[in-house]
Structure 1
Amino acid sequence: MPTPASPDRPATVPNADRGTPDARRLTDAVTRLRRALRASIRSDYPWETLPMAQVELLQVLAEHSPARIGDLATRQRLATSTVSGLVGQMITSGLVARATDPGDRRVSAVTLTDAGHAQLAAWTRAHERRLDTALTRLDTADRAAVRAALPALFRLAEHLDDSEH
């Protein structure tokens, strides 16, 4: 586990001086960020029980709605049966609704409900507050480095998406 940063002691960066490939270090950093955010959000906001797979489906539906189950599965790189099960759970929770696809009456399409929009907005606000708090604890140089890295991280994500097609 890394050593927490303090004014006298910078945070320990795993594998920083051991010749570890950048891809490995980035994998470690992303994994740690996701784990830390997931753990902290549940302790700071105990109401947050939405599984990440459902959050990701809500995010996709917020951008691409209505959507067929097969299209959601393709976008999320999941099996159709997995997405169908998640959608079933989300219908039960009132987060999404299933209706006949206007383009093809034989197929159903999934849309976000008002409750789904509200839950996604609350999830987003909670995560933004948590990250904002953590970012304010960084020194100016680290905050600038994070900000400067964001465009490259988005491009990296695009390249990862492109490599799958």
Structure 2
Amino acid sequence: MPSSPPVPEPASGPAVVGPQDPETAAVERARRLTDVVTRLRRTLRSSIRTDYPWESLPMAQVELLQTLAAAPLRVGELASRQRLAPNTVSGLVGKLLEAGFVDRQADPGDRRTARIALTPAGRRQLDDWQRAHERRIATALDALSPADRDAVMHALPALENLARALAEPVL
């Protein structure tokens, strides 16, 4: 008697069935989370550009604008916070300077260096980006079942804790 083909696992179900050692289970959880986060970011980015064609800022530039929204910073400080090489941040800052989204200001603590600050145009761009993403995510959340929407919202505190844990240096 021929065996029937395997039934694919539902999207919300476990990816691996059967006993596993704790390390394998941890790696599998990390793989699934990485996959979901990557797909969420990619899908959001592409849907935003379809729904809001004016939104063309690369994510690395948006992340710099988000960091600068709190306060002006030196390039080295930006690089450290973004965990990027200073020359990479310098290139991104150059693009943002050309676009008029940031400017250089004298550093009151050290006149030999400059701080990068958000301009009013940069603030508007960041606010527009934020509103477009909020509208897109709100629409997608509304399309979910109430149980899935509640599950996503209940997961947020744990995801925030995970983000904090990932930001801490590995010892």
TM-score clears 0.5: yes
Q: Deviations over 1:72-111 (max 9, x none)?
A: 0000011101101111110110000001101100111000
Distance 2:158 2:100 in 1: 37
Matches within 5 A, 1:10-159: 12-13=10-11, 16-19=14-17, 21-63=28-70, 65-159=71-165
How far did residue 17 of structure 1 move? 3.5
Q: Percent of counterpart pairs with the same letter?
A: 58
Which consecutive residues of structure 2, in runs of 5 or more, have no partner in the other structure?
1-8, 18-24
Q: Normalising to structure 1: TM-score of the pair?
A: 0.89
Sort the Cα spacing of 1:53 and 1:131 in 2 relative to 1 into closer, same or farther, 3 A: same
Q: Normalising to structure 2: TM-score of the pair?
A: 0.86
Q: Pick the structure with greater CA Rg.
A: 2
Distance 1:91 1:136 in 2: 38
Count of residues paired in the alignment:
154
Distance 1:45 1:164 in 2: 38
- The answer to whether the 8 Å contact 1:99/1:110 transfers is yes
* Amino acid in structure 2 at the alignment position of 1:38: R
Which consecutive residues of structure 1, in runs of 5 or more, have no partner in the other structure?
1-10
CA RMSD, aligned part only? 1.7
Moved over 2 A (4+): 14-20
Distance 1:108 1:46 in 2: 33
